[in-house]
Amino acid sequence: MNFSKSKYCQYCQCPKILWLNKYKPEELKPDPSAEERFEKGNQVGDLAMELFGDFTEVTAYDENGKLDLSKMIENTNECLKNGTVNICEASFSSGGLFCSCDILHKESDGYAIYEVKSSTHVSAVYITDITYQKFVLEKCGIKVTGTYIVHINSNYIFDGKLDVQKFFTIKDVSALVEEEAKKRDIEADLINATQLCDCKDEPKYDLSIKCRDPYVCGFWDYCSRHLPKPNVFDVYSMNFSKKIKAYQDGYFEFGDVRSAVKLSEMQKRQLDFVLHNVDEHIDKEGIKSFLDTLSYPLYFLDFETMQLVIPEYPNSKPYQQITFQYSLHYIGKEGGEIKHKEFLGESGIDPRRSLAEQLVKDIPTDACVLSYNMSFEKSRIKELADLFPDLSDSLMKIRDNVKDLIDPFHKGYYYNKAIGNSFSIKSVLPAMFPDDPELDYHNLEGVHNGSEAMTLFPKIKDLPQDEQAVARKNLLKYCELDTYAMVKIFLKLVEISK
Ligand code: SF4
């Protein structure tokens, strides 16, 4: 077998990933956000090529549109011969080890490797990655004079003109690479990986912290198939390392977890409901106490946001949550009519000012507002208040009146077996309203969740006119269902509290 840098990093995470990729690829659960991440990585990679001025990119494709690695190596050699100062995607191969360097920068006595990442910090896996590159280059006879991680500067504020130098942070990781190189024997790793993948017997690697470190492994469902359902990994709000520790200690059935693991009150309730086979639990007094904190007129608010890796609007940072849409249902008085308002910005235009202006018109400053998991909505309102001082008073008053519809579920006032291991609205809604097509997110066209909304909105501006109208309609329908779902859940709580 041959190593690429991504294969090598997979091997370092868990050698079994390579074996499963070879013998059981059908068990790999697709990662829905992978394409989006890949696209962001490409945007950032393209931008970083300009960091040191003129550059030559050696990327080449074969007639089937696949990367032509041999041609890339040939192009790289050509650049090295010509003394090219900045070679992007510089590619090397030696003894079954292949790598491409994002930027190879010529220095007086050798070359420095710059590895570009679309994240905002240096993480351990990047060091493994660049250590591998340095090893391959040195095997090819290149003198490596420096190793650097180029990542996004999370404090960069876009002022209308992108400054590539300020957008990126360059971190010298030479000392970390030196340490990492001492820990690794890459050639021995290649021999081990080859032996492992040549053998048809599945290697014995049990679940461990590595299953999520550095990346969530797509073979989790396959490797955890021996566990009963539910199990320790289904416990609410418990961090993964604690779950793994309980699993490794032999506490994975709910009964064992309940007696042997330190749990929060919410977690204890969850396990007790399951262990006592409770179909539905209703604490009328608890629900009433929650409802008593609310008052009419009652507004139900939900935001949709996007996170642009390369900011496009002045006064915004990389990955900042930009609110572009909201849906608002409201009920004026008990038993009153359910009404609806909404806002959706124009793709390609900063939506924040017009959204904030409409929000303060749509919600009276003394009205009670319900959100589901309110910290998200409250944070977005605060950001808008900070951005627009003239609207700050009204926005902060709205924010102060937000209450959380998730509370009755978190506090165990209402439980229903079908809710499962998540209190998200996508779990609670179908559990409270099974088989109601009007409330089924699957029946929506085009947009079924926040991630799809987030991805679609910034792309609308590039769609043909007729597709733009459809995309906007789909976004509006999706967000409307989010707040309509909240209304239905609220009314159901009112009904069962009586
Ligand atoms: S799920 Fe865990 S044990 Fe299975 S291949 Fe992935 S990292 Fe390895």
**From CA 86, how far away is CA 58, in angstroms rounded?**
11
**Mean pLDDT, to the nearest integer, of 371-391?**
98
**From CA 361, how far away is CA 328, in angstroms rounded?**
12
Shortest-distance atom of ligand 1 to CA 224: 1
Among 139, 129, 149, 185, which residue's Cα sits nearest to residue 13? 129
pLDDT at residue 420 greater than cutoff 90: no
Give pLDDT, residue 375. 98
- Amino acid at the residue 420: G
Among 493, 491, 496, 485, which residue's Cα sits nearest to residue 436? 485
Q: Whose CA is nearest to atom 1 of ligand 1?
A: 220
**From CA 466, how far away is CA 228, in angstroms rounded?**
49
For residue 240, the CA-to-ligand 1 centroid distance in Å is: 14
Shortest-distance atom of ligand 1 to CA 17: 5
Residues with beta carbon inside 6 Å of ligand 1? Answer: 14, 16-17, 20, 205, 207, 210-211, 217, 219-220, 223
Give pLDDT, residue 37. 85
Residues 97 and 186: beta-carbon distance below 8 Å:
yes
For residue 17, the CA-to-ligand 1 centroid distance in Å is: 6
**Mean pLDDT, to the nearest integer, of 355-361?**
98
| CB neighbour burial string for 115-145, b if at least 16 within 10 angstroms, e if fewer | bbbbbbebeeebbbbbbbbbbbbeebebebe
For ligand 1, pick from 210, 224, 248 the residue to mutate: most ligand atoms within 8 Å of CB: 210
Shortest-distance atom of ligand 1 to CA 210: 7
For residue 219, the CA-to-ligand 1 centroid distance in Å is: 6
For residue 254, the CA-to-ligand 1 centroid distance in Å is: 22
Shortest-distance atom of ligand 1 to CA 20: 5
For residue 217, the CA-to-ligand 1 centroid distance in Å is: 6
Residues 478 and 444: beta-carbon distance below 8 Å:
yes
Alpha carbon 168 to chain centroid distance?
21
| pLDDT tens digit sequence for 113-160 | 999 999 999 999 999 999 999 999 999 999 999 999 999 999 999 999
Residue 391, judged by CB atoms within 10 A of its CB (0-12, 13-18, 19+), counts as middle
**From CA 103, how far away is CA 88, in angstroms rounded?**
4
Give pLDDT, residue 377. 98
Among 55, 46, 95, which residue's Cα sits nearest to residue 75? 55
Mean pLDDT across the chain: 96
For residue 218, the CA-to-ligand 1 centroid distance in Å is: 8
For residue 198, the CA-to-ligand 1 centroid distance in Å is: 19
For ligand 1, pick from 27, 220, 226 the residue to mutate: most ligand atoms within 8 Å of CB: 220
| pLDDT tens digit sequence for 157-204 | 999 999 999 999 999 999 999 999 999 999 999 999 999 999 999 999
**Mean pLDDT, to the nearest integer, of 485-498?**
96
Q: Whose CA is nearest to atom 4 of ligand 1?
A: 223
pLDDT at residue 303 greater than cutoff 90: yes
Pull the structure tokens for residue 429. Answer: 């809604």
For ligand 1, pick from 12, 17, 20 the residue to mutate: most ligand atoms within 8 Å of CB: 17
| pLDDT tens digit sequence for 68-90 | 999 999 999 999 999 999 999 99
For ligand 1, pick from 7, 16, 20, 226 the residue to mutate: most ligand atoms within 8 Å of CB: 16
The fraction of the chain above a pLDDT of 70, given in percent, is 100
Give the sign of the dihedral formed by CA 132, CA 135, CA 140, CA 143. Answer: positive
**Mean pLDDT, to the nearest integer, of 230-244?**
96
Give pLDDT, residue 65. 94
Q: Whose CA is nearest to atom 3 of ligand 1?
A: 207
For residue 15, the CA-to-ligand 1 centroid distance in Å is: 8
| pLDDT tens digit sequence for 28-58 | 998 877 888 888 899 999 999 999 999 999 9
Pull the structure tokens for residue 446. Answer: 């085009």
For residue 7, the CA-to-ligand 1 centroid distance in Å is: 14
For residue 62, the CA-to-ligand 1 centroid distance in Å is: 33
Give pLDDT, residue 132. 96
pLDDT at residue 1 greater than cutoff 90: no
Of the listed ranges 53-62, 308-317, 414-423, the one predicted with least confidence: 414-423
For ligand 1, pick from 12, 28, 207, 240 the residue to mutate: most ligand atoms within 8 Å of CB: 207
Q: On the CB side of 391, how many CA atoms lie within 13 Å of its CA? A: 22
For residue 258, the CA-to-ligand 1 centroid distance in Å is: 26
Give pLDDT, residue 30. 87
**From CA 66, how far away is CA 185, in angstroms rounded?**
31
For residue 194, the CA-to-ligand 1 centroid distance in Å is: 18
**Mean pLDDT, to the nearest integer, of 281-302?**
97
Q: Whose CA is nearest to atom 2 of ligand 1?
A: 211
Q: How many CB atoms lie within 10 A of CB 354?
A: 14
For residue 31, the CA-to-ligand 1 centroid distance in Å is: 15
Residues 158 and 320: beta-carbon distance below 8 Å:
no
**From CA 9, how far away is CA 93, in angstroms rounded?**
17
pLDDT at residue 2 greater than cutoff 90: no
pTM score: 0.91
Shortest-distance atom of ligand 1 to CA 205: 3
Give pLDDT, residue 35. 82
- Residue 213 DSSP class: S
Residues 331 and 298: beta-carbon distance below 8 Å:
yes
